[in-house]
């Protein structure tokens, strides 16, 4: 392996690490801003402000991840598969951004908004339950699709076996043949009885 290939490999690995870590660090500044502004403008206790900041950003991560998941699903699904309600996820995304801006920049620009800012948190509670319902609905949708695929595979396998059986020559229903006259019978006992008749006739 040349030095250039080794350097490219390390570079790709570092970029991959950064790309995986950065999205989890990005919400931290916003969480701190919400924590700071809710204490400054709303006069909330420190522990409540911490809960508000962490909750908002965790909810934001969940909402954005769900929206991307539904977007990718709708873009790659089969025509027969049901469409995911991406519009609802986008409504939750917009609600998250409005709340984040309200609790950070807007309170600094217009402190009077502190009178209505607390009303956003009951709305966020509704949004969190909507997110849970949205994800549960999507999991059910994916499960039904997988079940449908499994049933379709089972039907294809059954039809394949039926075709294979139809292509096979039918088995001889009378496998026991008489060596004297060529008559065929379905059991050895029947053949023996028939041959005994031949011997009786020959003896007569």
Pairwise CA distance, residues 190 & 33, whole Å: 96
Q: Are 90 and 14 contained in the same domain?
A: yes
Please compute the mean of the pLDDT values over residues 10-18 and round it to a whole number: 79
pLDDT for the residue numbered 143: 94
| Confidence class for position 167, pLDDT limits 50, 70, 90 | low
Q: Give the model confidence (pLDDT) of 61-91 as tens digits.
A: 999 999 999 999 999 998 889 999 999 999 9
Q: Are 149 and 179 contained in the same domain?
A: no
In 3-state terms, what secondary structure has residue 123?
helix
In 3-state terms, what secondary structure has residue 186?
coil
Q: Give the model confidence (pLDDT) of 32-64 as tens digits.
A: 999 999 999 999 999 999 999 999 999 999 999
Q: Domain residues for 200? A: 175-204
Q: Are 60 and 159 contained in the same domain?
A: yes
Domain count, the chain: 2
Q: Are 161 and 194 contained in the same domain?
A: no
Residues 179, 198 contacting (CB under 8 angstroms): no
Residue with tokens 């490219």: 8
Residues 6+ apart with CB under 8 A from 181: 198
Q: Give the model confidence (pLDDT) of 15-25 as tens digits.
A: 778 888 877 88
Q: Are 107 and 201 contained in the same domain?
A: no
Residues 57, 25 contacting (CB under 8 angstroms): no
């Amino acid at each position: 392996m040349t030095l250039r290939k080794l350097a490219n490999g390390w570079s790709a690995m570092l970029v991959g690490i950064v790309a995986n870590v950065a999205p989890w660090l990005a919400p931290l500044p916003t969480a701190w801003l919400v924590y700071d502004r809710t204490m400054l403008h709303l006069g909330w206790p420190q522990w409540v402000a911490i809960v508000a900041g962490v909750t908002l950003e965790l909810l934001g991560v969940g909402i954005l991840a769900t929206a991307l998941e539904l977007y990718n699903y709708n873009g790659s699904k089969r025509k027969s598969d049901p469409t995911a309600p991406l519009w609802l996820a986008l409504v939750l995304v917009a609600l998250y951004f409005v709340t984040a801006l309200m609790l950070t920049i807007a309170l600094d620009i217009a402190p009077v908004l502190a009178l209505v800012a607390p009303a956003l948190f009951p709305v966020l509670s509704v949004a969190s339950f909507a997110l849970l319902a949205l994800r549960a609905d999507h999991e059910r949708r994916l499960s039904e699709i997988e079940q449908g695929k499994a049933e379709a595979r089972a039907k294809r396998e059954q039809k394949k076996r039926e075709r294979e059986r139809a292509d096979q020559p039918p088995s001889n229903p009378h496998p026991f043949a008489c060596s004297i006259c060529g008559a065929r019978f379905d059991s050895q006992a029947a053949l023996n009885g028939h041959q005994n008749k031949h011997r009786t006739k020959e003896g007569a």
